[in-house]
Structure 1
Amino acid sequence: MFPFNKSFNNKILLFFAVTLFISFSSLAQRAVDYVNPFIGTSNFGATNPGAIAPRGMVSVSPFNVAGKQNELEKDSRWLSNPYVYENEFLTGFSHVNLSGVGCPDLGVIISMPTIGELEIDHLKYGTTYNDEIAKAGYYSTTLDKSKINVETTATTRAGISRYTFPAGKANILLNLGLGLTNEQGAMIKVVSPTEIEGVRTVGGFCYYKPEETYPVYFVAQVNVESDEFGVWKKTRKESGAEAEWMGYNGKDRFYKNYYKEVMGDSIGGYFSYNFDKPTKVELKVGVSYVSIENARENLERETSNLTFLEIYHKTQLEWNDLLSKISVEGGTKDDKTVFYTALYHTLIHPNTLNDYNGEYPKMRTRETLKTKGTRYTVFSLWDTYRNLHSLMSLVYPEQQLNMVNSMLDIYDESGWLPKWELNATETTTMVGDPAGIVLADTYLRGIRNFDIEKAYQAMVKSADQINNNPLRPGLKNYIEKGYLTSSDGGSVSTTQEYNISDFAIAQLAQVLGKKNDEERFRKRSTSYRNLFDKDYKLLRPKNDDGTWYSPFDPLAGANFTKNIGFIEGNSWQYSFMVSHDIDYLIRLMGGKRAFTTQLQEVFDKGHFDMANEPDIAYPYLFNYVKGEEWRTQNMVNALRRSYFKNAPDGLPGNDDTGTMSAWIIYTMMGIYPVSPADPTYTFTTPVFDKITIELNPKYYKGRVLVIEKEGSGNIKEVLLNGEEHKSFFINHFELVNGFRLKFLLE
């Protein structure tokens, strides 16, 4: 330490030392610096550490799920993502990927830098790797076989890689034969010694609907002109005229300095170099779901004249700006890392579908349409209606508005709201009719500058049209009997999902002054009561004749095993999924004490599944019983500590496009939207001493919402703007207009 009385020079040195310390300290406290993209890359979290911009169409992810079966035994597993943390054999870097989904798709347009003679077999050019670094918008690693350092970053519609090659022979491969699902059709063409263009077929989500595959277009450019370039085709050994026309020599299966289009399954292209010293090469890949021309324009508009580092810094600033909408004080470094990584994960999907010029493919027909805003895609609504979209409404209402308008555009284009939409295709994955829940919830939270009459019309159509209804199969039984029967798939689960959707319609009808509809749909929303078995105090499927389905095992269906009445769960994991009618459920179960005992048994006997959407609100249901709120706080804190960590296995399972991440964000802030389409939050103990949410003044009166805690232990008192708030629930508008919520703990 420099004494102040020594000399002027020492004072100057001290001044600069302190200034640098303050600068670096400030820098270290940025929200973006707490993001750890490795969280969720193990334990089937299905996230990946690849570089991506907020809501990006493109991400550049390490691809390590196509390794040597005899060594890693990973190809026999159901892999829905391009990367698993424990895997050690990397075969490239994919440019279009999904994050936190339960079914495989995409994972294509795979680049790979290699050295030595050209090799096109991924099991031969693949390699182990080390020194992984992942940040928001950045990923890097070193390939063991070649010692090439790989760095990746991304813009919204382009992926950028920087390869540091050693001196000698070097190659950059673009492999269109690899991916996460079965379809392989592709086209590739070398445009120049620095550019390759092409198209890859994708669309086998969950291996459903192979007839509905679709193209993803790309343009790849390098900033160093190649000494040699070409394409390859591995489908079979050509012979005769075809071999002569393509220049096939019967030996190497690749075609040097070849400018014509090549189509097939296992095809690819390459650039080759002879470096006399270590050299950095940047590869930029632009993507479009409309055309090669749009992919090229996306690339030029978003990356032209920008270096790798310039793009990375720009993307990092975009991430920090969004993540900084919520600032937290107190808590540990790990707490902040879990929190901001979760927020990062909620800002990946839904992601951008439209090109820079606004063009995007129409639902089903894929003709080109144009949007003035952002057309979003990847609507995993069975998951996200429960919490993610309400979080977007609170923190990022402009994004949520664009999502709502995208859903309404899907209705215009296809005649139906989305169920599980992916890149302008409807996968029809999972059950229920969830889109309307999101539309109603958004409107009820005060985001109202969208066509609510169209939204309402779309919701009622799916609720009432019995024939040819892709959103509500079994609707005839549901309307006539009040429930689906055992002959319908997942009859109890689906009945409950329809109930929640009907509750959303009733809520919206009430605000819109449609009294008859409100009464009709509110009555329909409670039809689960017909499936309540008083002997078990659980929900149970019924047969077509109204008798109970037998034999009945309320535990059957856990861990994705078959259960006639339930989807991805069992009776214990569904019976409390009626938060819109919880007071009546308490009566059905015999009162508050019986309800509390039955709910506690879910946790005590291991029936609760933290990774399962239907029961993720269960810990908060104790708040409905006065005097039992401490159970919610204790249970939520125990679950948080057990399942959410700053580690690759730091999610309880599949992130489900940000749903699990939204759960932990809300939980750590001390509030939770326990009942979808009811703009109400319930409380738990916040993790942080102070949370400040920057509110959008276009939608909310206050500039900020502040949530604080004082003391330790469970909640003793809640203050809203300094005055006692006597309930463990708070309306959305009370919260955003109240400005300061304080928890006094004991």
Structure 2
Amino acid sequence: MKGLSIYLFILALASPAIAQDYTDYVNPFIGTSNYGATHPGAVLPAGMASVTPFNVAYKKGQGNVFEKDSEWHSRSYVHENNFLTGFSHVNLSGVGCPELGSILLMPTTGALELDPEKYGTTYSKEQAYPGYYSNHLNKYNIKSEVSATMRSGISRYTFPGGEAHILLNLGLGLTNETGAMLKIVSDTEIEGYKLIGTFCYNPEDVRPVYFVAKFSKPASNYGAWKKMPEYSAEATWTKYSGKYKPYYQYRNEMAGDNIGAFFTYDSRKGETIEVKIGISYVSIENARENLKKEQPGFNLDQTAYKAQTAWEQRLKRIEVQGGTHEEKTIFYTALYHTLIHPNIIQDVNGDYPLMGTHGTGNTKGNRYTVFSLWDTYRNLHPLLSLAYPELQSDLVNSMLGMYEESGWLPKWELMGMETEVMVGDPATPVIADTYLRGIRDFDINLAYEAIKKSAMPQKDGNKLRPGLEKYIELGYIPENTYDGLWGTVSTSLEYNIADWNIAQLAKALNKDKDYKYFSKRALSYRNYFDKSTGMLRPRMKDGSWLTPFDPQAGANFEPVIGFVEGNAWQYRFYVPHDIPGIIKLVGGDRPFSRALQTCFDENNYDMANEPDITYPFLFNYVKGEEWRTQQKVRELIQKYYTNAPEGIPGNDDTGTLSAWLVFSMMGIYPHCPGDMTYALTSPVFDLVTIHLNDKYYKGKTLMIKAEKSSSDALYIDEMILNGKPFNKYFISHQELTNGANLTFKLKANHQ
């Protein structure tokens, strides 16, 4: 059991009703290398607070080099780094731009040092499991342990004896904002806030994250600090020029850039001091109330146990049997990663920051934030709809709340701020897909109003869909028409998918006129099809093709005209709502299958990129070629997903790459949002049991079985659904959620 302390192990044995089986398969270090952007810190499912080691502030041996900017690190922790400067309390998992990673605590010993480059240390003896992280700070011989509740974090430091300090650094972090305020309330309490904002260096609003920190032992000395500006050599006040100046016994508010506080102790050998920090995005008072309600005392062991139990309850919604220990580890770690974001943002009293304003709203339920929708609409939300529909319902209601408050659905929302990152109209397919799957406890009239507004020109401009007028007029967005529009082909394809989802929702709501209109608009991708290359190719305003044109240019996230984070090959089949149409355009079944195989054979497929993430499942559209899906999916799993820090192919994108793995290992995949069928492939496990929420679905369980003729069997020989032969390679959401028993009989070769 990874990282399980003796205390927790005894608690688990004493509580047989809570068998901690599934959390044992979670390895939080997976994804902490290879730009996976995950972290090993303590967090609850959808938790607002998280406590994670922060090791990306300085490059050891290279002086004051802030890695966030020099290497575009978008997470608080990188596994191959080994220079710790604290434990941050607000963090993101699997994002592509720096943000949060703030409110850092750091224990030290010896003379007081306030410069993080100097007080930072190497560390060892790392342990992590859901809700708990621990390490040993080598320079100070301190054992550090952290855990979290939904809105607070707790740390426990075991000191070697002698002079000891606990530092609170508000200047260090991932956010592009350095401003903060703090006030030492007493010798056991600090309050304040830290500014966050400008995600991906976009000029959206800034927002404070408020905190209250309480210490289990009164400090013998305390104070605040700030980093002084660099003064000239001729100045007389050079003692603190460019250095960190302490203000002992300072009890007034201190505000500015690069500020912090310190608490000093005369510690005994083996003495532990605990620190708990409550956070809020509304006020200091709410942060204090969050802390009071969720952690009234100081008990890290109990907090960690409750956190682990919370994860166990979520993870056991999907139970697997069979498979190797490694396969179960990558599966449950992936499921764990899909349940971190979106996360709650409301306080215990229901307060939350309104979308796009500095006002405060209040909710009786959960209000969520961190909607990386360009990524997650493809598979994460369908996964939540299947296994956690009550959560998906809350997410849609949160999105509609954002619409009511700001006038627009979110695109890439972060802490009540629209970052405007990425392209398209990704909220629309999420809402349509959710409703069509049978999750309908939200205001569908408001939802339809919102998605139709995003799809039509507006007097003051369409905030979500730049270039919409030309998209409607010409059936494509021409190059060199709109300043600031990123990737005309990619953007148009995203609009197509959104329009198709509007059409499907309109059909379900008996809005026939809208169904016909948006169905037609959804097929305008055909205007980009270039017969001479077989590619979707950028076009100019006069209808001519962009020249020169290299279909392979733009791989590996290099900028290229017409496309977003990909090249023409990676967008070649990116019309999941009309695969039969693209098959016809490229010449029929066999030419399509050959072209799709070529995409893989010539290394044009990018496992870490969302636009082509569904490509392995497209072979299912060609009769007789379905075995290629089974072969390719298993090959990709084995190549890119491992029980190691680099075990995610790239940026997890708030759980999107993990969701791909969860579905793929179960043998079903939602190949197109709004399409109520899953593509089938061979399951990895002998048995998968999904416990369905009967509030939303008729069935109690969905069972997926794999019967293998040999240990290396991975090709589908036959399928049986509820005791009857099943010969299709797509299965409907309704068939599965009615309580299906789907059996795959597998063989070792595809002939």
TM-score (norm 2): 0.94
Residue 130 of structure 2 corresponds to which residue in structure 1?
A: 136
AA aligned to 1:654 is: N
Question: Is 1:31 the counterpart of 2:18 in the alignment?
Answer: no
Residue 97 of structure 2 corresponds to which residue in structure 1?
A: 103
SS in structure 2 at match of 1:294: helix
SS in structure 2 at match of 1:304: coil
Alpha-carbon offset, residue 265 of structure 1: 0.4
Question: Is 1:217 the counterpart of 2:210 in the alignment?
Answer: yes
Alpha-carbon offset, residue 181 of structure 1: 3.4
Contact kept in structure 2, 1:643 and 1:651, CA below 8 Å: yes
Residue 16 of structure 1 corresponds to which residue in structure 2?
A: none
Residue 60 of structure 1 corresponds to which residue in structure 2?
A: 51
Contact kept in structure 1, 2:115 and 2:244, CA below 8 Å: no
The separation in 1 between residues aligned to 2:599 and 2:310, in whole angstroms, is: 42
Contact kept in structure 2, 1:105 and 1:202, CA below 8 Å: yes
Contact kept in structure 2, 1:390 and 1:441, CA below 8 Å: yes
The separation in 2 between residues aligned to 1:24 and 1:645, in whole angstroms, is: 32
Change over 3 Å in CA distance of 1:275–1:548 after alignment to 2: same
Pairing 1:167-178 to 2, within 5 Å after superposition: 167-178=161-172
Alignment length (residue pairs): 722
Alpha-carbon offset, residue 148 of structure 1: 0.4
Alpha-carbon offset, residue 494 of structure 1: 0.6
> Which one of 321, 324, 333 corresponds to residue 329 of structure 1?
321
The separation in 2 between residues aligned to 1:739 and 1:556, in whole angstroms, is: 45
Which of 170-179 and 706-715 deviates more? 706-715
Contact kept in structure 1, 2:33 and 2:645, CA below 8 Å: yes
Alpha-carbon offset, residue 264 of structure 1: 1.0
SS in structure 2 at match of 1:613: coil
AA aligned to 1:64 is: N
TM-score (norm 1): 0.94
Residue 205 of structure 1 corresponds to which residue in structure 2?
A: 199
Contact kept in structure 1, 2:179 and 2:256, CA below 8 Å: yes
Question: Is 1:675 the counterpart of 2:672 in the alignment?
Answer: yes
Contact kept in structure 2, 1:68 and 1:123, CA below 8 Å: no
Pairing 1:659-670 to 2, within 5 Å after superposition: 659-670=656-667
Question: Is 1:561 the counterpart of 2:577 in the alignment?
Answer: no
Q: Deviations over 1:37-87 (max 9, x none)?
A: 000000000000010011011110100001236449772211100110000
Question: Is 1:720 the counterpart of 2:711 in the alignment?
Answer: no
Contact kept in structure 1, 2:229 and 2:241, CA below 8 Å: no
Residue 9 of structure 1 corresponds to which residue in structure 2?
A: none
SS in structure 2 at match of 1:622: helix
SS in structure 2 at match of 1:614: coil
The separation in 1 between residues aligned to 2:605 and 2:15, in whole angstroms, is: 44
Residue 730 of structure 1 corresponds to which residue in structure 2?
A: 731
> Which one of 522, 532, 556 corresponds to residue 529 of structure 2?
532
Question: Is 1:648 the counterpart of 2:648 in the alignment?
Answer: no
Question: Is 1:513 the counterpart of 2:513 in the alignment?
Answer: no
Question: Is 1:485 the counterpart of 2:478 in the alignment?
Answer: yes
- Gaps of at least 5 residues in structure 1 are 1-18
The separation in 2 between residues aligned to 1:719 and 1:205, in whole angstroms, is: 49
Residue 3 of structure 2 corresponds to which residue in structure 1?
A: none
AA aligned to 2:606 is: D
The separation in 1 between residues aligned to 2:282 and 2:455, in whole angstroms, is: 33
Residue 10 of structure 1 corresponds to which residue in structure 2?
A: none
Question: Is 1:544 the counterpart of 2:537 in the alignment?
Answer: no
Contact kept in structure 2, 1:235 and 1:265, CA below 8 Å: no
Residue 399 of structure 1 corresponds to which residue in structure 2?
A: 391
Alpha-carbon offset, residue 170 of structure 1: 0.4
Alpha-carbon offset, residue 225 of structure 1: 1.1
Question: Is 1:453 the counterpart of 2:445 in the alignment?
Answer: yes
Residue 622 of structure 2 corresponds to which residue in structure 1?
A: 625
The separation in 2 between residues aligned to 1:621 and 1:223, in whole angstroms, is: 58
> Which one of 347, 356, 367 corresponds to residue 364 of structure 1?
356
SS in structure 2 at match of 1:636: helix
The separation in 2 between residues aligned to 1:492 and 1:70, in whole angstroms, is: 45
Identify, as 1 or 2, the structure richer in helix: 1
The separation in 2 between residues aligned to 1:578 and 1:301, in whole angstroms, is: 49
SS in structure 1 at match of 2:570: helix
AA aligned to 1:282 is: E
Which of 50-59 and 69-78 deviates more? 69-78
Alpha-carbon offset, residue 374 of structure 1: 0.5
> Which one of 584, 605, 608 corresponds to residue 605 of structure 2?
608
The separation in 2 between residues aligned to 1:583 and 1:372, in whole angstroms, is: 45
Residue 45 of structure 1 corresponds to which residue in structure 2?
A: 36
Which of 298-307 and 391-400 deviates more? 298-307
Alpha-carbon offset, residue 277 of structure 1: 3.0
Contact kept in structure 2, 1:440 and 1:677, CA below 8 Å: yes
Residue 268 of structure 1 corresponds to which residue in structure 2?
A: 260
Residue 228 of structure 1 corresponds to which residue in structure 2?
A: 221
Alpha-carbon offset, residue 724 of structure 1: 1.1
Contact kept in structure 2, 1:384 and 1:658, CA below 8 Å: yes
Change over 3 Å in CA distance of 1:126–1:20 after alignment to 2: closer
Alpha-carbon offset, residue 363 of structure 1: 1.3
SS in structure 2 at match of 1:573: coil
SS in structure 2 at match of 1:574: coil
SS in structure 2 at match of 1:140: strand
Change over 3 Å in CA distance of 1:516–1:221 after alignment to 2: same
Alpha-carbon offset, residue 182 of structure 1: 2.9
Change over 3 Å in CA distance of 1:22–1:196 after alignment to 2: closer
Change over 3 Å in CA distance of 1:164–1:69 after alignment to 2: closer
The separation in 2 between residues aligned to 1:207 and 1:174, in whole angstroms, is: 26
Change over 3 Å in CA distance of 1:742–1:542 after alignment to 2: same
AA aligned to 2:462 is: N
The separation in 1 between residues aligned to 2:242 and 2:613, in whole angstroms, is: 59
Residue 5 of structure 2 corresponds to which residue in structure 1?
A: none
The separation in 2 between residues aligned to 1:289 and 1:312, in whole angstroms, is: 24
Change over 3 Å in CA distance of 1:529–1:305 after alignment to 2: same
The separation in 1 between residues aligned to 2:272 and 2:195, in whole angstroms, is: 31
SS in structure 2 at match of 1:198: strand
The separation in 2 between residues aligned to 1:121 and 1:20, in whole angstroms, is: 40
> Which one of 465, 468, 471 corresponds to residue 475 of structure 1?
468
AA aligned to 1:736 is: T
The separation in 1 between residues aligned to 2:270 and 2:27, in whole angstroms, is: 31
Residue 427 of structure 2 corresponds to which residue in structure 1?
A: 435
The separation in 2 between residues aligned to 1:293 and 1:132, in whole angstroms, is: 35
Which of 65-74 and 575-584 deviates more? 65-74
Alpha-carbon offset, residue 713 of structure 1: 3.0
Alpha-carbon offset, residue 236 of structure 1: 3.2
Question: Is 1:587 the counterpart of 2:584 in the alignment?
Answer: yes
AA aligned to 2:490 is: S
The separation in 1 between residues aligned to 2:214 and 2:52, in whole angstroms, is: 18
Root mean square deviation, CA, Å: 2.2
The separation in 1 between residues aligned to 2:154 and 2:572, in whole angstroms, is: 48
Residue 742 of structure 2 corresponds to which residue in structure 1?
A: 741
The separation in 1 between residues aligned to 2:61 and 2:463, in whole angstroms, is: 42
AA aligned to 2:479 is: S
